[in-house]
Chains A and B, each alone.
Chain A
Amino acid sequence: MWDFQWTLQILPDLLGALGTTVQITFLSYLIALVLGLLIAIARRTPFFGAVLHAATEFIRTTPLVIQLVFVFLLTPAHITPMTVGVVVLGVHYAAYTAEVYRSGIEGVAKGQWEAARALSLPARRTWGAIVLPQAIRKVIPALGNYLIATFKDTPLLIAIGVAELLTEAQRIGSASFRVVEVYTVVGFLFLLVSIPSAILLRRLERRYAAV
């Protein structure tokens, strides 16, 4: 049933696609980290904050795949699916990381804010030197979770035709009519990445053990 020759033959293509997948993951995650922080800070302003809250709430309660397809259909044709995929994935997870940052910021003791105020530090220094260093340290493990989550959501990009792992597997499968090996290898490749990352994350958690 299982053909090893065939497995070896398709492996290079799948590993190449895994590379693309990892690339997409890191790019999207970068967007999520930066944008999420900006959202978390901007959410503290009165009106704009409420609008942002509603927007992130909407993003977090509707499926990623339909967001992907929707944005893809509305973008001009010269923008590649890859770009759309990275941006949508990044913005989707920014809605999650914003919550994580927010909980971190709220966890900073009130006295810290008061001290910054008493020293009449400008807002930039209050955030940059007092609040964020304390807030972010505590949420590093929670943020790490979302790196793995982003990685596990990359197969959804098959919906807009990005050449990531699952898309590549489907292409090989439909060209050869042999899908058992392809999809099984894809599953193992996922485990190959996510189990070590989970172990790494657990170490990180122990190191930054907050709570």
Chain B
Amino acid sequence: MDFLIQRLPLYIDGAWITIQLTFGGCALAFVLAMVFGIMGTIRHWLPRAISTVYVEVFRGIAALVLMFWMAFALPQLSGFRLDDMFAAILALGLNVGAYGAEVVRSSINAVPKAQVEATVALNLSWFQRTRLVVLPQAWAQMLPTFGNLVIELMKATAVVYLIGVADLTAVAQNMRESTGETVVAFIGAFILYYLIAQVLIFGMRMLERRANRKLGRTPPRGKSLKSLAQSTPVGSAGGTF
């Protein structure tokens, strides 16, 4: 225990890098998911095709491969070297953004048709319809899966030590090399990762509640059988991979 308390500042530094990567990656992924997800619902074929290409390409390549390409191949190709941290955020954001775009697309498509018909009857423009009617409802639908993706992204940041970023995993590795205490050095990192994940899960749950409240849906109190049956639709468990 003394071991960990003494070296806590180092672990905190590593965790801070991990948190920065997580938030940077999430911000980029969110923007990409929204843009390409909405493009995937437009009737014209061109934006839809662009969206499909983005999703399939960046979902298909492992984030680590993408990261290696940006960190090592890109400088040789263009002579321009990205900051390692930036390359990591870019790779993570592009990868998770592709998963997110699928979520956005399917959530928008899941908004009841009558809602869209009503906006047509009210003579709302496409922009008004999307912003005022479709997105708020789709948003509540997206959030649970977004929650899973946020955790996935946080976990995926752990590979950045392979391209030389000093994140939490790198700290654990250094600690082990300098002290030889494998178990203790790693347990420190495991605990911090676990804590970060719990905070993120809590935050996403708060966002979910707020989104549902705004739609006039109150969260179920307690775990009645009915709410349990509704909360885990078969086939969509564990998010989209």
Contact = CB atoms under 8 A, between A and B. Distances in A.
A116 interface: no
Contacts of A63: 154-159, 169, 193
A44 interface: no
Interface stretch (A4-12, A118-126, A143-151): A143-151
Interface residues of B, number: 48
A187 B234 contact: no
A34 interface: no
Contacts of A156: 64, 159
Contact of A74 (B159, B183, B232, B237): B183
Nearest to A104: B234
A159 B56 contact: no
B77 interface: yes
Contacts of B68: 166, 169-170, 183, 186
B101 interface: no
B121 interface: no
Contacts of A65: 158-159, 162, 169
Contacts of B157: 63
B62 A190 contact: yes
Contact of B65 (A1, A186, A195): A186
A115 interface: no
A211 B234 contact: yes
A62 to B, nearest CB: 5
Interface string A43-72: 000000000000000101111111001100
B64 A149 contact: no
B85 interface: no
Interface residues of A, number: 55
Given A141-B235, A211-B234, A62 B193 contact: yes
B124 to A, nearest CB: 31
B210 interface: no
A184 B241 contact: no
Interface string A185-211: 011001100110010000000000011
B194 A66 contact: no
A138 B235 contact: yes
Interface in B27-71: 56-57, 59-62, 64-66, 68-69
B241 A149 contact: yes
A206 B63 CA distance: 28
A103 B230 CA distance: 11
Contacts of B169: 63, 65-66, 69
Interface in A151-166: 152-156, 158-159, 166
A155 B73 contact: no
Contact of B238 (A64, A96, A187): A96
A31 interface: no
A96 B186 CA distance: 22
Contact of A61 (B59, B64, B194, B232): B194
Contacts of B57: 191
B103 interface: no
A106 interface: yes
B189 interface: yes
B115 interface: no
B162 A158 contact: yes
A73 B176 contact: yes
Given A100-B237, A153-B62, A106 B232 contact: yes
A69 B173 contact: yes
Given A179-B73, A191-B61, A194-B59, 11 more contacts: A62-B193, A63-B155, A63-B157, A69-B169, A106-B229, A107-B234, A139-B237, A173-B72, A183-B69, A211-B235, A211-B236
